[in-house]
Amino acid sequence: MRIVCIGGGPAGLYFALLMKKLDPAHRITVVERNRPYDTFGWGVVFSDATMENMRRWDPESCDQIEQSFSHWDDIELRFKGRRIRSGGHGFVGIGRKHLLNILQARCEALGVELLFETEVDSDLDYPDADLIIASDGINSKIRTAYADVFRPDIVTRPNRFIWLGTHKLFDAFTFDFQRTEHGWFQAHIYKFDANTTTFIVECPESVWQAHGLDNADQHESVAFCERLFAESLEGERLMTNARHLRGSAWLNFQRIVCEQWWLRNQHGSHVVLMGDAVHTAHFAIGSGTKLALEDAIELVRQFQLTGDAPQQIPEILARFQELRRVETLRIQNAAWNAMEWFEVCGTRYCDQLEPEQFMYSMLTRSQRISHENLRLRDRGWLEGYEQWLAERAVAQVTVPAPVMAPVHAPVAPVPPMFTPLQVRSVLLTNRVVVSPMAQYSAVDGMPGDYHLVHLGARAMGGAGLVFAEMTCPSPEARITPGCPGLWNDEQQRGWQRIVEWVHTNSEARMALQLGHSGAKGSTRRAWDGIDLPLPDTGAEANWPLVSASPQEYLPGVSQRAREITRAEMDAVREQFVAATRRAAAAGFDWLELHCAHGYLLSSFISPLTNQRTDGYGGSLEQRLRYPLEVFSAMRAVWPEALPMSVRISAHDWVEGGITPADAVEIARAFKRAGADMIDCSSGQVSKREKPTYGRMFQTPFSDRIRQEAGIPTMAVGAISEADHVNSIIAAGRADLCAVARPHLANPAWTLTEAARIGYTAIGWPKPYRAAKGQLEAGFAREKAQQAPPPSGGFARGGGSGPDTLRRET
């Protein structure tokens, strides 16, 4: 088979040598525009899995690569005059130039033809090729020429970075953050051979421009970075080898995802993209080289399995694309999270967080490294951080704790989820919240025995705060006929009975969420057809609906809501005020206003549902007027010593709807009105929504609002285990975590998770204490039977940055 590899990077070279090993009869040429044994870039890092894979396929080159590795175990953070070090990560690095030299020499030894200083403009230059590997990099000419087939999605990211080197040697993978008068810079620093260190400097575009670096040449840029990071460099110089780039050599990262990876050109040659030409992964996680090498391995494996007859190439390439797409997207998603963290850290974390928490946030930035994973890597550092976090939490408590759980300075590490939180006069003994979950089990709005059992069981299950489901201030405000209300004395007495029972029998505090269904009301109970309208006649017939503007939630299905009038807005506001007074009289500790999910107040906020032409439509400021009016009226009658939160949809997931940036402004507005916390949900405003689901998928909204709006937040959405809660609270991404469906499956979810992670200091209700030791012992046995994971190893990456971050030095 005649094979041409366009581009002499890791993907092209490694594929060439492996295919030549597979069948020496293959005629293989690698065409590279650079000079022999020359390349751009400094060092790369590898993963243990990638190296094991390479050893299976070519032990000779693997041995040479491993002999050249530079190994380090620690990660060091330099931030605000502090140095904090974390161990147990085990990374290896190698110079990119040396890596390519090894692969070039191996190719030559096997008989692969290498053509250097040759610029390739088109795959059509090789009409005799059966297979063309387009491994021509991030600016691939081949991909561009066939963009209509490959359909690349290319996103240029906002930060600027410059890839430098230095002879100053660092004994840890180091992150150095420096503040200037215009903003923050960060450096990603790691040694890759006995003499040289990679030194990548990164900053936001606005900071780059403010320092005049957009007009600086390479020499001026290097000099600037030397001055900025002089303390870390200790007199050593910075170097650049980007002589082929014009200007300052500051770049913007481009995230590339291609829908199609291969084609057949007009000569009948099969052309397949590989490496950065088809996908990129940000250096914040470091996986570009890993992905490129594993592309090469997988395609060769497919030829080995199927054979190399030309007629089989389409089948092979289709299978290769499908197999590699899954792994690539997984790595790219993790890299995206890490990349975004570095892009916003200057505005979101650097000023707001203390070094201890900043380090934890950076450690877990990709959401692939969890709380317990950090414990496996460096128990000493993590337990020290847990102690620090718990002591801070206790120090902030100024009111007496509930009698059943006195708060005292921790004597042993306390998991973050079990630290106390005080909001106004209300003290929560832990950070777990039973989320408001519709039960559709009220009769005429009356909470009954079902609600007592349901909420009482979850209060005894260990959560610090238990929410009743969305409760309505009028019959017309209900979602379904089974939704509870608080518009009369009987309902107030029903809620008071539940609250008093919870206070008597548990440590939990009770919260009430008040909301008006708006255009999403007058529907059937969920099990009878969620969101489907009630019949027009009968005992449970439709009632009229109002919204910010006329709409049908389910077009062609839902009842059409009409635009609410100003007089009706006044009436609804007073209904909320009356319900607020009743909630206080019933003894609730916490009140939340529901302004999310397309309900009445949410319909004012979202431009998707608000097309009003009066003073309550138009700009976000005007769309917020009525929800703020209702909130302020409620806050005025709700006891000053008790907290109020607001649930918002932080993202509509529809083009033209509310964005996370809007959510920050919404949170700021409610904060000014007296809100103590923002409950950060998303979506459910429009059926056109396209959410991106995943574990903790809404937590980034909570994180952003907490840091940028400066208000405590509650995270919700796919939070299902203690590790999730601990990671969120420890990183400062939220102050509380609302857990929904797991609490439906297990009312004692909090107590169960405490036993699962080995936290035995949590109190149990007296009648249940006989089971506590048994549950804890059972989980302890399970843990003891599990084989401990291997320690050390290489980085989970293949570019410049680790995906992780122990003790202070």
Closest CA to 547 of 474, 624, 605, 600: 600
Token pair of 64 as six digits: 């040479």
**Residue 385 and residue 786: Cα distance in Å, rounded?**
26
User: Is the alpha carbon torsion for 631, 636, 637, 641 positive or negative?
Assistant: positive
Q: 3-state class of 476 per DSSP? A: helix
* Residue 42 contacts residue 301 (beta carbons within 8 Å): no
Dihedrals phi, psi of 533, to nearest 5 degrees: -70, 155
CA 806, chain centre distance (Å): 23
Enumerate residues 6+ apart whose C-beta is below 8 A from 411: none
With residue 392 as reference, give the H or E element that holds it. Answer: helix 379-395
For residues 296 and 23, give the distance between their C-alpha atoms in angstroms, rounded to a whole number: 15
Q: How far apart are CA 248 and CA 162, in angstroms?
A: 8
The catalytic residue among 146, 599, 616, 626 is 599
- Please provide residue 709's backbone torsions phi and psi, each rounded to the nearest 5 degrees: -90, -15
Residue that the structure tokens 């929504």 belong to: 689
Secondary structure letter of residue 74 according to DSSP: -
What count of residues does the chain have? 809
Residue in 52, 70, 61, 59 with CA at minimum distance from that of residue 100: 61
Per the CB < 8 A criterion, the answer to whether 433 and 739 are in contact is: yes
3 state DSSP class of 428? strand
> Is 599 noted as a catalytic residue in this protein?
yes
Task: Using DSSP, state whether 159 is helix, strand or coil.
Answer: strand
What radius of gyration, in Å, describes the C-alpha atoms of the chain? 30
* Angle in degrees, CA 280, 283, 287, rounded to 5: 60
CB atoms within 10 A of CB 360: 27
Cα separation of 78 and 178, whole Å?
9
Contact 203, 229 (CB under 8 A): no
Burial class (CB in 10 A: 0-12, 13-18, 19+), 772: middle
d(CA 330, CA 796): 13
The answer to whether 449 and 494 are in contact (CB under 8 A) is: no
Beta bridge partners of 434: 466, 739
3-state SS of 511-578? EEEECCCHHHCCECCHHHCCCCECCCCCCCCCCCCEECCCECCCCCCCCCEEECCHHHHHHHHHHHHH
- 162, 248 contact by CB (below 8 A): yes
Sign of the CA dihedral 336, 341, 347, 348?
A: positive
Short-list 350, 352, 360, CA closest to 384? 360
Q: Are 214 and 90 in contact (CB under 8 A)?
A: no
Quickly tell me which residue has 């575009």 as its tokens.
Answer: 205
d(CA 288, CA 41): 13
Contact partners, residue 671, CB within 8 Å, separation at least 6: 678, 709, 710, 711
Report the Cα–Cα distance between both ends of the chain, in Å, rounded. 58
Q: How many CA atoms lie within 13 A of 452 on its CB side?
A: 14
Give the residue numbers marked as catalytic.
599
